[in-house]
Structure 1
Amino acid sequence: MLIENMSMALHAIRANKMRSFLTMLGIIIGIGAVIAIVSVGDSMRNLFADAYKDVGFNRAIVMVSWEVEDFRMTDLFTREEMGRIKDIYQDKIEYIDSDSYAETEAVNGRRKVKFQFQGIDSNYTDVQPLNMIYGRAINEGDIKSGARNVVLEDKGAEQLFGTSDCAGRTFRMTINKDTQEYTVVGVYRKDLSPMVAMMMGNGQTQSGFLPDTVLTKPGDMFQTVNFYVRDGVDMTSFLKELTRYVAKLKNRPESEIRTMSVADQMGSVDSGLSGMSAAVGGIAAISLLVGGIGIMNIMMVSVTERTREIGIRKALGARTMDIMVQFLTESAFMSLCGGVTGILLGVLLVKAGGAMFQMTVIVRPSVVILAVGFSALVGIFFGLYPASKAAKADPIEALRYE
């Protein structure tokens, strides 16, 4: 019976191709828009996840908030205090440093390039592996001796030396008002998609690394402690534990100790993108309502046009339920065809956009299945009244209809 009804529905759609297509257009646009918007949202969330991956999901910082009214010098951290934190929590902290940076201008002959250097410890590559293409990374010898050795990103190296293969070459720069000669011991490369590169911007400042002991001396103090927790450590509970320790160490209330993790930042961004995607997707789904009304309208016209056919079927023994199922099947089939077409259109648009920006596109199967099912339900819901009207038609009056 179902196959027969579907065959009749297909015949009715083919008999009025243009009218059926225009009726399905609202469903096609609505489903296509929802699929495209949800997929773009998921793809952007994945893109941000990749960007945060470069920073490190298990990275966090701790500090005494600058917002306290009586901020004092002892609220800053010393190297001894940072070492104490590392020793106490060595089973939970894999890497720790002073989160020191320096922005300066590197000079090689007539070439001048702005750099931002991050001070790191010797085991930095254990938590953030670098794709070294020339030379080596900062090692323990560099840290202990405070050697003026640097690792440059390939783009900065090319600007400064005209080539990225510059390990062993030297240049001059000023750090902490001290101008010295620095040696390039390695060059690394960041493999970024065009989309990520565009998000990060193409600023004039290049990046690099140098020993943390070059940027900070034994007597220096710094505002934040930067660290990476070991795999398997619960970041939330550990940050609460560390907050209690630092509050005691600095003689401050726990409310004045600020911690911030990359996972928390990513969660906030992810929640924002999810909410935005849901809101825009909901607005796009309104077109499904318009499409459903179009289906109801055309089915009402179809019932009027086929009044005599309904009368003949009833005279031949068709039950009220048979007539109702026939028209419901037709409206659901029309909506389903529009839904499948909309899904294909939405997926093609997203794939084309992904190929253009060279980014990974995510199309969740669950969203596709939900869209197919929802489009069929729209057809059934909006076809219910026309089908009911057709089923209740008086066979004698229907046979007299011209």
Structure 2
Amino acid sequence: MKKICLSVLGLYIGMLAAFSQDTSQYKSRKLTFEEANFISSYYNQNGNNSAVTGGIGTEKLTDLSNSFEIKLNMWDKKERKHTFDFELGIDHYTSASSDKIDPKTISSASHADTRLYPSLNWSVENGKKGTTFGAGLSVSHEFDYTSFGMNVLFAKKTNNKSGEFSVKLQAYLDKLKLIQPVELRSYNNTYGENDYPTASRNSFSTSLSYSQIINQRLQVIFLADVIYQHGYLGLPFHRIYFKDGTESVETLPADRLKVPLGVRANYFLGDNIILRGYYRYYRDSWGLEAHTANIETSVKVTPFLSVTPFYRYYIQSAVKYFAPYEMHTSAEEYYTSNYDLSKFTSGFFGAGFRLIPPKGVFGIQHFNMLELRYGHYQKNNGMQSNIVSLNIRIK
């Protein structure tokens, strides 16, 4: 994993050196380097409500995530700005609960896995008309899951440039391997990687937003999404233990409609403090209803160093098909013991430190920004997690 990260970072520094030689002030019609970001994070969690073992058992998991992004731009003959955004992500996780899919083996196929997810997005902005059009493609692959994504975007500024409306359409076409618990498999246990049966899952969404500058201190943005999913929407290795002692895997409807509505606000409280607030209401066709409230404060300690403490509160109801371990009956049409679909409340708090010195971090001119963040997450059922992330920006 370290070799991969260092290779990506080396590639990115080499590209920076090539593009940063163009220091002219005119609008270049050649592809020019704008900025690059390298983000690395470490996540760990623990709990005792694993869906793999029917709602009981360890949820211990660790994940190391690395993402590299580079943005390039150019201007065409009509003075429109074209931006190309390429991102490559690599995650590697280990999961004790997934290892229970086949507890007789030393390590099952899902005990540890690596996910690779490149994406490419393009947008063209017409400053005179105040319009932006964009499109993108993405791929995500791991051992038992492959996803292909595509999106289109249109945005239009108001006549006075103080507001902007945008609409984004997205589609994800997924294929997953039906890796069932070992004791429930009807196919040969001595299989190769391509011998698992498969199923599809497709997601389509429309995202609407309107942002408005109210005055010099206050900015707001209103958000609305409509998301429709169809296909195999559960996971084939999530066990269900019925009241009569029999066993199966979770079964969920093949359709799900989600509607989240949200609002964000940024308030500039003087020169050194920014307050950021966020609220979201969510409801779906499975009966889940949720509220999210988030507050973050950015405090400028020095002209180059800022601290950003944050707190997020979340509460949700359970879906109609959830019940704990050995509480379902086999007469039910749909059932799950996945505690992500249960009723719970959670809190997430932490802080970030951002350094943006005018001469560059450590005196390196193009090393524009260094940010370190830590967050602690906890559910009221005892599940806890921690995440540490590092963000490096080059301009």
User: What TM-score results when the alignment is normalised by the length of structure 2?
Assistant: 0.15
Greater CA radius of gyration, 1 or 2? 1
Greater per-residue helix proportion: 1
Greater per-residue strand proportion: 2
